[in-house]
Structure 1
Amino acid sequence: MKIPNIPGFDQGAIEKYAKNAGWLMIARVGSLGIKIVVSICVGNYLGPKAFGIYNYPLVFTTFFIAAAALGLDGFVTRELLRFPEKKNELLGTAFLLKMVGGILVLPLVYIAYHLATDFTRIDAPLSYILVVSLTGIIQAFNIIDSYFQSRAQGKFIMTVQVMGNLLSAAFKIILILLDKSLNWFIAALLIDVIALAIGYIYVYQKQGGSIFDWKFESPLARFLLKNSWPIAFSAILISVYMKIDALMIQGYLGSEQQGIYSSVVQLSEAWYFIPVAIVTAVFPAIMNARRDDPERYQRRMQNMYDLMVWISLSIAIFMSIASPLIYHLFYTPDYWPAAHVLTIHIWAGIFTFLGTASGQFLIAEGYTKLSMLRTGAGAFINIVLNIWWIPKYGITGAAFATLIAYASSNFMILLIPKTRQQGIMMLKSLFLITLFEKLKNRTSAAK
């Protein structure tokens, strides 16, 4: 199938990267469908309170698992693009660093849990938290993903992720049919990550690589840590401002409301794979344009922002209209009050899509600290608004806090002179100015 020509992109380049994006999209779409169906089944089976307890360890450990990753995945992908001959050294060094990071966060999780119980209501036992925390160690094998990304071989990522999700879904459905307790579902969260790691190892080995050829180099480790720490800290801040609302709902309102809100977040954030897949696939083309043709580089960024707005706006409109029907068709009545919350939370996706694209600009220009700063600002705004609104408006207040925090964080770059132009470009896309300009130009050309 021929890929249609996209203004601002060379046809040869877009053919290559769009095919890779296609494989990634197939993987994510397949995963999306599977995860949504299973999430609905698990949520209905457990009920809101137990579903809240089930999701709480995922939320609580998110910050620590992000820290354990050390921000290495994206940075290693970039280094593999630059130095493919150093594959074994880069993968081996990054793997060991991530493994050690996963081990070191375990005592931090233990301490944080006991501190949190002194200030808030936590229904999930420590054993649940620690089981899920082990995923921080196992995720070290995800560095293999970076290798395939650097080679634009998204089909292998697709194979692993789709098969992993199918196995995960089948296991959870079996647990439901066997009427198993919540303990089994918590264990399944860890099994999911183990299965994914085994899949990555298998595919990597099958393509001629071997994890036994990986090498650890101390100088390279210092280089990776020195350059990736802003990305790691930014990932932690992203986790805070994307997940802090669930933690605060647990503290203010309890597990039942947290479970209901979790259904909203899963339906809303399930779409966030789209900007990641697109940006990951075309990032090499954007980097090449930056090196060879600054004007083309800017055109590609504007087209990227346009694409992000068109997709996310379509999703937001569709989900806002369909949310009552979705909840009444697929969820038990206990979850129905969440329908109107979804109509608010889904609009935050527009700013997530734009933020994913602008984040690549910040990386390309070396503004990693600025990326960290804007994420931190978003986290701060989200926390403050949640403190104010959750007690007053419940989970509706949390959804509004998320929407405002995402928008504020995204357009913070307007305040910085060196990034202001990118902010203006995003605004033009957001208000569909560039869309009307393109339509006008096409009309003129037709005449």
Structure 2
Amino acid sequence: MKHYLKSACWLLGEKGVSFFCVLLVNFQVAKYLEPDLFGRFSFAQAISSLLLILSGLGIHNILLRDFSNSNSKRDILYAASLLLRGGFSIIILLLAFFLYRKSILTIEVTIFTLLCLPQTFFYYENILQSKGQGKIIAISKILGVLTSALLKLSMIYYDCGIIYIILCYVIESVIISTFYVFHGRFLLKSAIKNIDFSLLKSDCIYLLKKGAPLLFSGIMVIAYTRTDQLMIKSMLGESALGFYSAAIRVSEALNFLPYLIFSAIFPFFIKKKRESLKSYETLVSRSFSIVLVFSSLTSWIIYTFSEKIINLAYGVDYSNSTPVLALSCWGFVFISIGAVSSKWLLAEDLQKYSLFHSLIGLVINVLMNLALIPKFGIIGASISTLISLFFSSLLLYVISSKTRKLVLIFFRSVLLWKF
């Protein structure tokens, strides 16, 4: 456990550095672009994030689980993941450029889509996490983030425009992937040297089959967390989207934390499950207790100081973002619950339920947005997101007898409040 906690500490340290760098740079980008252009920038990110999820094929967590369970197939699984994501990334890039030529996609979306290629090698993170080597991930990402931050600030200082700022995001991914390629070169050479095409084919089919529910689940998650932005742009315009996106960037800034922590200690979850079912369920219960306390306290602090945070971060021009931040910050509680729930599903090999929950969450979000955005504007979109997160992260687990057990574990953690 100590080994994985040390790895988690490195990853948390990296996220701490990245958090402040990205947040401070995002504030400067928002100020530089102003609400209208910042709305356009956010819209491009929302569209490209869907394309990036598609290129990932949903196999990220499958690889983490399988790398944690077995050492013997790491090289062939890694080769299969590179082949799959590399191929799909090229297809998506060609599609994006085709749609751009047809004036269906903007140049901003097309450039963001370039992130697909370097992120192909990000699967090496799964191997490092499964071995508890978070230090290497942390160093790679810190160098990438710091370089990118300096480049973005330079683009703003020299008034280079939105296109060059977006290119800095691509450069960041290239730097990180270069480190992963260098560090994983021996594993990659081993995979190529000992390649067995029949085994490679079977592993590709296995990853596609197992990853399909998580892929569609990921699409649904991105869809219902970004649908509000797409609908706001359509119904209220780019300026309203700029105000909404500014608030969301603050409230979502910490969303990575629970997923990062539980990804880092997920191999320990698997180990506990193999050793003792009782100790495994106790670990899940205590995980719920910890994230509830931390997320509730964090959300309350952001809610209390929401006006000061917006004024300090963006200035008075973004004052319309304050009520959105005051509401949306509570989504962190449901995100944290969802982080534990999703890892439990993966450990139980029930990832197909992630797709179902995400799909229902998307439907709820769209229907609520249609009802609330015309009446309450961007505040209505915040309310819709909170309601859909509540359903998808916890309430929908009651429906199936296979997942109902998790709800009992959750309420036991709340009632007993054990650490």
The aligned residue for residue 122 of structure 1 is none
The aligned residue for residue 421 of structure 1 is 405
Q: 3-state SS of the aligned residue for 1:271?
A: coil
Q: Deviations over 1:97-129 (max 9, x none)?
A: 001111222355468789996xxxxxxx62221
Mapped to 2, the partners of 1:302 and 1:87 lie a distance apart of: 31
- Check 1:376–1:110 CA distance in 2 against 1; reply closer, same or farther (3 A cut): farther
Mapped to 2, the partners of 1:244 and 1:100 lie a distance apart of: 28
Given the alignment, which residue of 69, 82, 92 partners 1:95? Answer: 82
The aligned residue for residue 26 of structure 1 is 13
The aligned residue for residue 416 of structure 2 is 434
Does the aligned pair in 2 maintain the 1:264–1:338 contact within 8 Å? yes
Q: Deviations over 1:331-369 (max 9, x none)?
A: 122211111110100101111100110111111111111
- Check 1:95–1:329 CA distance in 2 against 1; reply closer, same or farther (3 A cut): same
Identical counterparts, % of pairs: 26
The aligned residue for residue 199 of structure 1 is 179
Matched pairs, number: 412
Does the aligned pair in 2 maintain the 1:249–1:257 contact within 8 Å? yes
Given the alignment, which residue of 269, 284, 287 partners 2:267? Answer: 284
Given the alignment, which residue of 191, 213, 217 partners 1:214? Answer: 191
Does the aligned pair in 2 maintain the 1:61–1:109 contact within 8 Å? no
Mapped to 1, the partners of 2:351 and 2:227 lie a distance apart of: 23
Q: Does 1:58 align with 2:58?
A: no
The aligned residue for residue 63 of structure 2 is 76
Does the aligned pair in 1 maintain the 2:55–2:116 contact within 8 Å? yes
Q: 3-state SS of the aligned residue for 2:253?
A: helix
Q: Does 1:375 align with 2:375?
A: no
Q: Does 1:362 align with 2:345?
A: yes
The aligned residue for residue 218 of structure 2 is 235
**Where do 1:35-434 residues align within 5 Å?**
35-106=22-93, 108-109=95-96, 126-205=106-185, 209=186, 211-215=188-192, 217-410=200-393, 411-429=395-413, 432-434=414-416
- Check 1:235–1:303 CA distance in 2 against 1; reply closer, same or farther (3 A cut): same
Shift of 1:274: 1.1
The amino acid of 2:402's aligned partner reads: K
Mapped to 1, the partners of 2:341 and 2:390 lie a distance apart of: 13
CA RMSD of aligned residues (A): 2.0
Deviates more, 1:81-90 or 1:171-180: 81-90
Shift of 1:285: 1.5
The amino acid of 1:354's aligned partner reads: I
Mapped to 1, the partners of 2:264 and 2:24 lie a distance apart of: 27
Q: Deviations over 1:376-423 (max 9, x none)?
A: 111111111112111221110111101000001122001222221211
Does the aligned pair in 1 maintain the 2:111–2:166 contact within 8 Å? yes
Q: Deviations over 1:7-66 (max 9, x none)?
A: xxxxxx2x2222111111111111111111000011111111111112221100111210
Does the aligned pair in 2 maintain the 1:54–1:185 contact within 8 Å? no
- Check 1:243–1:330 CA distance in 2 against 1; reply closer, same or farther (3 A cut): same
Does the aligned pair in 2 maintain the 1:141–1:197 contact within 8 Å? yes
Shift of 1:86: 2.4
- Check 1:181–1:146 CA distance in 2 against 1; reply closer, same or farther (3 A cut): same
The aligned residue for residue 3 of structure 1 is none
- Check 1:347–1:114 CA distance in 2 against 1; reply closer, same or farther (3 A cut): farther
Does the aligned pair in 1 maintain the 2:100–2:107 contact within 8 Å? no
The amino acid of 1:319's aligned partner reads: I
The amino acid of 1:378's aligned partner reads: G
Does the aligned pair in 1 maintain the 2:51–2:92 contact within 8 Å? yes
Shift of 1:199: 2.8
- Check 1:313–1:116 CA distance in 2 against 1; reply closer, same or farther (3 A cut): farther
Shift of 1:192: 2.2
Deviates more, 1:411-420 or 1:33-42: 411-420
Deviates more, 1:185-194 or 1:18-27: 185-194
Shift of 1:214: 3.4
Shift of 1:310: 1.0
Q: 3-state SS of the aligned residue for 2:160?
A: coil
Does the aligned pair in 1 maintain the 2:272–2:279 contact within 8 Å? yes
Shift of 1:426: 2.2
Mapped to 2, the partners of 1:404 and 1:132 lie a distance apart of: 30
Mapped to 2, the partners of 1:364 and 1:280 lie a distance apart of: 12
Q: 5+ unaligned residues in a row in structure 1: which ranges?
A: 1-12, 118-124, 440-447
State the TM-score, normalized to the length of structure 2: 0.93
Q: Deviations over 1:303-328 (max 9, x none)?
A: 01111111111110110011111112
- Check 1:242–1:428 CA distance in 2 against 1; reply closer, same or farther (3 A cut): farther
Mapped to 2, the partners of 1:380 and 1:19 lie a distance apart of: 40
- Check 1:219–1:237 CA distance in 2 against 1; reply closer, same or farther (3 A cut): same
Shift of 1:77: 1.8
Does the aligned pair in 2 maintain the 1:231–1:372 contact within 8 Å? yes
- Check 1:299–1:273 CA distance in 2 against 1; reply closer, same or farther (3 A cut): same
Mapped to 1, the partners of 2:162 and 2:149 lie a distance apart of: 16
The aligned residue for residue 5 of structure 1 is none
Does the aligned pair in 2 maintain the 1:309–1:354 contact within 8 Å? yes
Shift of 1:221: 1.1
